[in-house]
Amino acid sequence: MKFDILIIGAGPAGLNAARVAAQAGAQVGIVDDNALPGGQIWRQGPQHPPTGRAREAIEALAMPHISRMSGTRVVQATGARQLLLEDAACGYTVDYGKLIIATGARERFLPYPGWTLPGVTGAGGLQALVKGGMPVRGERIVIAGTGPLLWAAAVTAREHGAQVAAIVEQAPPHAVRQFAAALVATPAKLMQAARMRFDLRATPYLCGAHVVAAGGETQLTHVRIRRGVGDLSIDCERLACAYGLVPNTLVGAALGCGIDEAQGVAAIAVDDLQATSLPDVYAAGECTGVGGMELAAVEGRIAAHAALGDEAQARGLFAQRARYRRFAGRMHEAFALDPQLRTLAEPDTVLCRCEDVRFGDAAQYGSWRDAKLQTRCGMGPCQGKICGEAAAFCFGWPRSGAGGQRPPFSPARIGTLLEVQDEA
């Protein structure tokens, strides 16, 4: 297969890029590792068909110029403008003229005692499980961490019959109030926030608070919360706790795109036209910096116009992008992580869940590389996606994202890797 424009990721950025490119007559391929398009924010499920803007963007995939490759992962680059892909059935190569990376973001987890207990997930992880059909009716759930995602997760849980025992936000009350007041600059965001607050008006909202420990023997039974100088315990069956989102730079870094620090985390570096440091490779959405669905969508459209060579159309969207980037800046300022979160883990708290490496063992070393060499931290199936970001925050280590990754970029079958030799 060969495409004029190949897009990696079928979230808001990728879907909007695909529609713009297909409407211009380009042959478009869109690769996504989920079974259904929409990404994490527009995730579909048995009880969750797409609606509104999500439905409009997803239905555009039916356009004749778009080929959709779902349940498919990028394994490696096999040559100039060629990628090796793998789905459930086989591995195969695709060629492209231009590439748009729209791989989104993933949740940031920080270690604390009990965070590996059954019943503990991320906030977005809880949303995905519920939308996928996991029953939560009648369960008591604590939603904790930081940022607007907590509210979205709480609304989803409540709509499915859960009792949201509390929303625990680590940001101080004054920062949250300032952020809420500034939402008048983005009316759509203001209305969305008002609806969620009304829906959850009876739910305790604890600002300047964070989870100290999750308790239970073989299953989560309660959560200990620190607010100010005092602690309180909340009985619950589930805890959804994550500290915001971080850009998913894996594919971009592995291909050799430049990586910069955005909002204190590694992100794919782009110019005004969403172009990366590689020729004819663009990036859009949260892999270039977390800023919300609206920002991701407009960046996807800019990247597509730029890839088509229509710079004037791309520049016509700059003002809209700037407005949502200002929103993103206010969000990151309001929900910046409290430094005391670095001290939640105890020496015997698990840091790397894949390789069962303890926090105290990793803390003895001065860099991510040294810790990997000596403890196997980050050497398991997730390849440091969870513990790497946690270690960078807790220990102040330089992030490993800019160093790229050797192929394969994700676990692959031997038969898929043999495709490279067969092609040669």
Model pLDDT for residues 45-76, shown as the tens digit of each residue: 777 787 888 888 899 899 989 999 999 999 99
What is the domain partition of the chain in residue ranges?
A: 2-106+246-332, 109-243, 345-403
In the predicted model, is pLDDT for residue 401 greater than 50?
no
What are the tens digits of pLDDT across the range 241-269? 999 999 999 999 999 999 998 777 889 99
- Reply yes or no on whether the pLDDT at 402 is more than 50: no
Q: Other C-beta atoms within 10 Å of 372: how many?
A: 22
CB-based contact 15:61 (threshold 8 Å): yes
Kindly indicate the confidence band of residue 219, based on its pLDDT and cuts at 50, 70 and 90: very high
SS3 of the chain: helix, strand, coil, percent, to 5? 35, 25, 40
Residue 87 has pLDDT above 80, yes or no: yes
Burial class (CB in 10 A: 0-12, 13-18, 19+), 378: buried
* Alpha-carbon separation of residue 94 from 18, 21, 31, 77, 215 (angstroms): 17, 18, 10, 10, 49
Report whether pLDDT(137) > 50: yes
Give the mean model confidence (pLDDT) for residues 291-312.
96
Asked if pLDDT for residue 127 goes beyond 70, the answer is yes
Q: What is the mean pLDDT of residues 81-108?
A: 96
The chain-wide mean pLDDT, for the chain, equals 93
Model confidence at 227: pLDDT above 50 = yes
**pLDDT at residue 423, rounded to an integer:** 58
Residues forming a β-bridge with 67: 29
**pLDDT value at residue 256:** 92
Helix 149-159 and helix 123-131, axial crossing angle in degrees, nearest 10: 30
Looking up tokens 């977005």, which residue turns up?
A: 124
Q: In percent, how much of the chain has pLDDT > 70?
A: 97
In tens, the pLDDT along 357-368 reads 999 999 999 998
Q: Does domain 109-243 have CATH number 3.40.50.2300?
A: no
CATH topology identical between 2-106+246-332 and 109-243: yes
Q: Which two tokens stand for residue 97?
A: 């003229």
Q: How far apart are CA 61 and CA 30, in angstroms?
A: 9
How large is the average pLDDT for residues 105-128?
95
Does position 411 have pLDDT exceeding 90, yes or no? no
The pLDDT tens digits of the residues spanning 371-398 come to: 999 999 988 888 888 999 999 999 998 7
* 115 against 46, higher pLDDT: 115
> What pLDDT sits at residue 399?
64
CATH architecture of 2-106+246-332: 3-Layer(bba) Sandwich (3.50)
Residue 404: which pLDDT band, with cuts at 50, 70 and 90? Answer: low
